Amino acid sequence: MVSLQTIVLDVLSALGLFFLMFIPLYFCLIQGRILNGRLHTKVDGEKLFEKLKTDLRLSRITGVNKKRLYKDLDYASTIFRGAMEYNSREVVWYFNEYYAKMYIKRTLLRKAALHLLVWSVFIGVVLGGVFTDGLWWLFNVKQLTSETGVASTSVLFVIAILISALIKFLEYYHVKKAINDDIRQINLVKKEKVWKDFIIVYYISIASWFLGLLFIFINMILK
């Protein structure tokens, strides 16, 4: 009969592998939602365009593609041509926020996808050899011997961890470079908030990822 401890340890190990694979993607989505609330928000856009409309002394504007209006600076400049001269800085800032948000999102998504690819390759290689050996390695590594590929699997596991660490460092480097160097002419207060939000979520994601590693190691030690 399978003991409760064995069930708990196996669940922890499976959960740990799930964390290793999908935590970066999950926190990438969280970062995206935070960015949506910080940069190029609909509320800010409505206030800006209402101000431009007031400057033109218009009660309403018809025949406007609102989706394009919020994302295309040239289109907005055409619609509000007469009011742009006095509000050019606010307009440029607003649309630069959109470009900044999309740039950061793409950077985060690329890193999360690369991370997922690394662990998918690891699992594919391990299970592609002897399927049961891969499962034994994850759930009961002490039962394996040198003939069953435990050493090579462990080496691949360490390599995957090191590559993941490199990807995470590059994520930090590229986002920091984007916020501090590449993204210009946006509200400095918002810029600082975006960076602080990123750092908080970044370190929480690292802690969660290491929690996944801890779950796997607990299984290996206690089994």
Q: What is the mean pLDDT of the chain?
A: 83
The pLDDT value given to residue 84: 63
Give the largest CA-CA distance in the chain: 82
Taking only Cα atoms into account, the Rg of the chain, rounded to an integer number of angstroms, comes to 25
Kindly tell me the sign of the dihedral angle through the C-alpha atoms of 195, 201, 203, 206.
negative
- At 27, the pLDDT band (50, 70, 90 cuts) reads very high
Q: What six digits make up the tokens of 105?
A: 């999102």
Domain chopping of the chain, boundaries = 4-39+96-222
- At 186, the pLDDT band (50, 70, 90 cuts) reads confident
CA-to-CA distance for 116 and 98, rounded, in angstroms? 27
For the cut 70, the answer to whether the pLDDT of residue 10 exceeds it is yes
For the cut 60, the answer to whether the pLDDT of residue 1 exceeds it is no
40 Cβ neighbours under 8 A, 6+ residues apart = 70, 94, 95, 97, 98, 100, 101
The pLDDT value given to residue 102: 92
Neighbours of 17 (CB within 10 A): 18
* pTM (2 d.p.): 0.84
- Mean pLDDT to the nearest integer, 166-183: 89
The pLDDT value given to residue 124: 85
The pLDDT value given to residue 109: 96
DSSP label at residue 185: S
Q: Which residues of 144-163 are buried (b: 16+ CB within 10 A; e: fewer)?
A: beeebbbeebeebbeebbeb
Q: pLDDT by residue (tens digit) across 57-91?
A: 766 767 778 788 888 888 877 777 766 666 677 88
- At 220, the pLDDT band (50, 70, 90 cuts) reads confident
Q: To 10 degrees, the CA torsion angle through 150, 118, 29, 107? A: 150
As a whole-number percent, the residues of the chain with pLDDT over 70 amount to 82
Range of 41-45, 92-96, 110-114, 153-157 with top mean pLDDT = 110-114
As a whole-number percent, the residues of the chain with pLDDT over 90 amount to 38
